[in-house]
Structure 1
């Protein structure tokens, strides 16, 4: 059994200090839905839990003219209840709603989903599609990392000892911009993605795509930004040819595994289909 030391600091500085000075494996507790399970399976004799929910701003979401600033411990239940955020980032909010059951939603968070760094994380593709960045606190200040660079492998990310995800910032979209996220799962609910796609598109007044970002999940060790898929969409009316080219780019970028939930070939095909469908949804939303 793992012996857990629990700390609940009320400032960023205190939390960073605890993490930096820890002599045992130190873990940040946001919601804990993955952390508790991982700890029960751990071979560590002792762990430090640093609960960040008492720190001001960590469980808040602020939407301004500059965009969204999201605290890493705000629960998915609270986040998905925010109609003002859903009006601007519908795909991101829908992705957060897909994490777990109703009970899990009360604890799980977008920040925790990101830091758990699963290839199948639902919120990472729409975060990348919306050009979100991570604000990371450390003993000497802060640094900014794009979400697509945050996750470095299966269950691994760029956080170093003494570092803490302070917030996620999503820039305000340009006019006529919207997003969408879709995933494929074997069951109807409460499952993890076999493949997922997050897309953001910006249209001009004639309906031509002038900017796009496409991210795919569960088909590689990390969620991938697919520039070739974005390039296929920009300059088009998002017609069938453009969508097929974007889908082919997503399929080509994917490097999935074979397992009982899906073959390599199946995942490669499905992720392309999801890119096409998510693009259509995002475009319809961008048109208003």
Structure 2
């Protein structure tokens, strides 16, 4: 969709240039997907020269401008599964960015699921400096996140310990290749704990932590107590009752797989 109110593009853009009416431009697949008459200027991050992927002793740093295609080539199994959870063609893969998926903050965002499930940390840069926010707290609702005026998402860091942990993945849609109606990821940590991340079915990520593998009954009770009914999404991709059913079914499948 054309953004016919845009009168200027700043490239390359940098922190400190933002003013009301500006929008950060990465891949643009989310930015150009719907009308945005309030936008007057685009701040281009694609020419910032950020290295897409940096492997460090403590984990993997993923630049906000890293494309889905670049990330999908990584050898980590869960990363590949989350990339394939996109409702997108290979053309979109080569343009859409990890940062764009996080900042769009849609329930079905698979990069949100990946980051929340692996205890990812978002690095945010703004006029007042930098700060770190866990991915699980970065998305606060449908289309809402923790970014303040003038801030941008620089990168997402996935800790090495989480990336080495055993995981299980479940994703369901109304039809083949449809948008995720529920996307759940389970993880066992080194101390024997169990972590379940619920996304797509809910307005924002829910991360349930247990000191040890819960029983089927304990898991179902935790899902009922920790995820309020209004948190389940209602749209053309699925009704709340069905999404809740998928969530509870997939949660037990994941628990059993990781037992």
Instruction: Give the TM interval when normalised to the shorter protein.
Output: 0.7 to 0.9
- Structure 2: runs of 5 or more not aligned: none
How many residue pairs are counted as aligned between the two chains? 252
The structure where helix makes up a greater share of residues is 1
Give TM-score scaled by structure 2 length. Answer: 0.87
Could you tell me which residue of structure 2 aligns to residue 266 of structure 1? 242
Q: What CA distance in whole angstroms lies between the structure 1 residues aligned with 2:242 and 2:20? A: 45
Mapping of 1:1-288 within 5 angstroms?
2-4=4-6, 5-9=8-12, 14-19=13-18, 22-24=19-21, 26-38=22-34, 41-44=35-38, 46-57=39-50, 59-83=51-75, 86=76, 90-99=77-86, 100-173=88-161, 177-189=165-177, 191-202=178-189, 210-226=192-208, 230-231=209-210, 234-236=211-213, 242-252=215-225, 253=227, 255-280=231-256, 283=258
Task: Give RMSD over aligned pairs.
Answer: 2.3
Q: What CA distance in whole angstroms lies between the structure 2 residues aligned with 1:174 and 1:153? A: 25
Q: Is the 8 A contact 2:182 2:199 kept in 1?
A: yes
Give TM-score scaled by structure 1 length. Answer: 0.79
Q: What CA distance in whole angstroms lies between the structure 2 residues aligned with 1:126 and 1:278? A: 15
Structure 1 residue 185 displacement after superposition? 0.7
- 1:47–1:244 distance in 2 versus 1, CA, 3 Å: farther
Structure 1 residue 53 displacement after superposition? 1.6
- 1:159–1:188 distance in 2 versus 1, CA, 3 Å: same
Aligned residue for 2:78, secondary structure, equals helix
Q: What CA distance in whole angstroms lies between the structure 1 residues aligned with 2:46 and 2:24? A: 10
Q: What CA distance in whole angstroms lies between the structure 2 residues aligned with 1:274 and 1:48? A: 43
Q: Is the 8 A contact 1:126 1:179 kept in 2?
A: no
- Deviation string, structure 1 residues 84-128 (Cα, Å, up to 9, x no partner): xx1xxx223311222211111111122211111011212212311
- Deviation string, structure 1 residues 243-278 (Cα, Å, up to 9, x no partner): 453244235415314444333221111011222334
- Structure 1: runs of 5 or more not aligned: 205-209
Q: Is the 8 A contact 2:107 2:203 kept in 1?
A: yes
Q: What CA distance in whole angstroms lies between the structure 1 residues aligned with 2:175 and 2:41? A: 36
